[in-house]
A and B are shown apart, each in its own frame.
Chain A
Amino acid sequence: MLKPLDENTGYGLGRRPIFPLDACNVGFSDGGRQLLDRVSLTLTQGLKTVIMGANGAGKSLLMRVLHGLVKPEVGAVLWARVPADAEVMSRQAMVFQKPSLLRRSAEGNIQFVLGHLNRSEAESRTREILERAGLSAVARTPARLLSGGEQQRLAVARALALEPDILFLDEPCASLDPASTMAVEEMIETAHQTGTKIVLVTHDIGQARRLADEIVFMSGGRIAEHTAARQFFDGPVSAAARDYLAGRLHVPGYSAGT
């Protein structure tokens, strides 16, 4: 499980580094609406990054751009200063906000992404992963018959089965009960400790406090704030972030209670 870590750089041995991950002046618009507005962002390997922001702020879109699913209209995404190639692509995984599970059993969904392993390896890896996700009892159940929370956990488990160097998680705990949320957070923490870079979107402030090393706060397609987590929760700089944390709807140019 544990990836061999190069002592000096922290990068996996024998693989070229892919960090830092840079979004350079990324822009994306649709019908005149600027959905991503000159977003520049540098993500380093060791930190768990949590992206926050109101609905429609562009969090999911930014993750898609970083993951290479959406091509930005302007700007570029660079991995260790160069655009992604097939190898860099294959070292990423993403859990979507609306995860799509294959019409197969839970274990079938895991095995699907383990095509590079031989059969017995894939089977034992699958068993181990389902065990960690607390899904052993439903291994043979068709994925789409699982409860909403179980489906979410399966989606996270499937992404982790890829052993990615970077994992994008788009609200992976959105419909989970507290115990399942803890289980997923543990899975994320374990992945982090074995060298996987975590980039997570959440609206759960408690979860952000528990997991985040740094916060990227988005508002209206821009990055309003990119700071260490402690600093962010102690005293957000941007008005948008202050409104968000206080549970107020943010109206640009107007700041309540200041």
Chain B
Amino acid sequence: MTDPASIFLLAMGLVTSGNPELYGIIWLSLRVSLTAVAISCLIGLPLGAALAVVTFPGRGAVIAVLNAFMGLPPVVVGLVVYLLLSRSGPFGVLGLLYTPTAMIIAQALLVTPLIAALARQSLADLHLEYDELFRSLRLGATDKIAALIWDGRYSLSTVALAGFGRAIAEVGAVIIVGGNIEHVTRVMTTAIALETSKGDLALALALGLILVGLAVAVNVAVLSLNRAAKRLAYA
């Protein structure tokens, strides 16, 4: 039952059956990861742009840490968020553990350094090009950051999608802080982990195929955005 053809058929069957449980899981995956990435962009893009624009002592160290944090292990982030949100932790009273909100927080923490680091990299090149103009116009740091984010929006959308890819694919953080509770915190990756541990490899693989399909859709979006970007602005 784990040959490619039957896996593919099973996946197609799941998708076309309109199985509400499956769609609930897909929907929650998208909701958690998209919200996490949105939050990460709100923090990470200005942070990355600021690091591209502003010079201050210790900037190199901040960038090095940020770059290192791009590769944070999801389980470690999950564990930290777990400790923060657990009943005895500092935010225990909020009762967020094992909720989608906890998963969003964990993924946002995971993805923000990635988005900030990649944004800094791509905006640093742009800033090099704009620097004299900006200084000639005597722009303040906030105006520079806003202009860089706006003018770099096409490459930053790629950055955001890279963050989305990391969020939707990770299992370590969401399983620790979400707990993989049916109908509440079960997402694609935790469902796959569960079916694997139950021994239903065919279902696990079919779910994996659907997840890969989502990732491919994301990548197609990246590529077409890039092409649009080239056509529109980077002549």
Q: In the bound complex, what is the Cα–Cα distance between A218 and B133 (angstroms)?
A: 25
Contact check: which of B136, B143, B152, B232 meets A94 at CB < 8 Å? B136
The answer to whether the Cβ of A74 comes within 8 Å of any Cβ in the partner chain is no
Contact A100 B132 (CB under 8 A): yes
Contact A96 B132 (CB under 8 A): yes
**B213-233 contact mask (Cβ, 8 Å, vs A): 1 or 0:** 000000000000000000011
Contact A103 B234 (CB under 8 A): yes
Say yes or no: A96-B133 contact (C-beta < 8 A), given A142-B235, A144-B233.
yes
Q: In the bound complex, what is the Cα–Cα distance between A113 and B150 (angstroms)?
A: 15
**B42-66 contact mask (Cβ, 8 Å, vs A): 1 or 0:** 0000000000000000000000000
A-chain residues with CB within 8 Å of residue B129 when the two chains form the complex = 100
B126 to chain A, nearest CB (A): 8
B-chain residues with CB within 8 Å of residue A102 when the two chains form the complex = 130, 133, 147, 151
The answer to whether the Cβ of A117 comes within 8 Å of any Cβ in the partner chain is no
A171 to chain B, nearest CB (A): 15
The answer to whether the Cβ of B198 comes within 8 Å of any Cβ in the partner chain is no
Say yes or no: A113-B135 contact (C-beta < 8 A), given A142-B233, A144-B234.
no
Q: Give the dominant DSSP class at B's interface.
A: helix
Contact check: which of B130, B152, B232 meets A100 at CB < 8 Å? B130
Say yes or no: A103-B233 contact (C-beta < 8 A), given A86-B138, A90-B138, A113-B137.
yes
A-chain residues with CB within 8 Å of residue B143 when the two chains form the complex = 115
User: Restricting to A81-109, which residues have a CB under 8 Å from any CB of B?
Assistant: 86, 89-90, 92-94, 96, 99-100, 102-104
Contact A93 B136 (CB under 8 A): yes
Contact B135 A69 (CB under 8 A): yes
Q: In the bound complex, what is the Cα–Cα distance between A29 and B134 (angstroms)?
A: 24
How extensive is the interface on chain B, given as a class?
Answer: 10 to 19
B-chain residues with CB within 8 Å of residue A90 when the two chains form the complex = 138
Say yes or no: A67-B136 contact (C-beta < 8 A), given A102-B130, A103-B151.
yes
Contact A104 B151 (CB under 8 A): yes
Smallest CB-CB separation from B137: which chain A residue? A113
Contact B235 A144 (CB under 8 A): yes
B-chain residues with CB within 8 Å of residue A13 when the two chains form the complex = none
The answer to whether the Cβ of A145 comes within 8 Å of any Cβ in the partner chain is yes
A-chain residues with CB within 8 Å of residue B235 when the two chains form the complex = 142, 144-145
Say yes or no: A100-B138 contact (C-beta < 8 A), given A112-B147, A142-B235, A144-B235.
no
Q: In the bound complex, what is the Cα–Cα distance between A99 and B132 (angstroms)?
A: 9
B-chain residues with CB within 8 Å of residue A104 when the two chains form the complex = 150-151, 233
Q: In the bound complex, what is the Cα–Cα distance between A169 and B54 (angstroms)?
A: 28
Smallest CB-CB separation from A109: which chain B residue? B133
Q: In the bound complex, what is the Cα–Cα distance between A103 and B132 (angstroms)?
A: 15
Contact B232 A142 (CB under 8 A): yes
Q: In the bound complex, what is the Cα–Cα distance between A144 and B150 (angstroms)?
A: 15
User: Restricting to A111-130, which residues have a CB under 8 Å from any CB of B?
Assistant: 112-113, 115
Smallest CB-CB separation from A168: which chain B residue? B136
**B148-163 contact mask (Cβ, 8 Å, vs A): 1 or 0:** 0011100000000000
A125 to chain B, nearest CB (A): 16
A-chain residues with CB within 8 Å of residue B130 when the two chains form the complex = 100, 102
Among B132, B138, B143, find the residue whose CB has the most chain A CB atoms closer than 10 A. B132
B177 to chain A, nearest CB (A): 39
Q: In the bound complex, what is the Cα–Cα distance between A103 and B147 (angstroms)?
A: 10
User: Restricting to B113-147, which residues have a CB under 8 Å from any CB of A?
Assistant: 129-130, 132-133, 135-138, 143, 147
Given A90-B138, A94-B136, A104-B150, 4 more pairs with CB closer than 8 A: A69-B132, A86-B138, A93-B136, A142-B235
Q: What are 24 A-to-B residue pairs whose CB atoms are below 8 Å? A: A67-B136, A69-B132, A69-B135, A69-B136, A89-B138, A90-B138, A92-B136, A93-B136, A94-B136, A96-B132, A99-B133, A100-B132, A102-B130, A102-B151, A103-B151, A103-B152, A103-B233, A104-B150, A104-B151, A113-B137, A144-B233, A144-B234, A144-B235, A145-B235
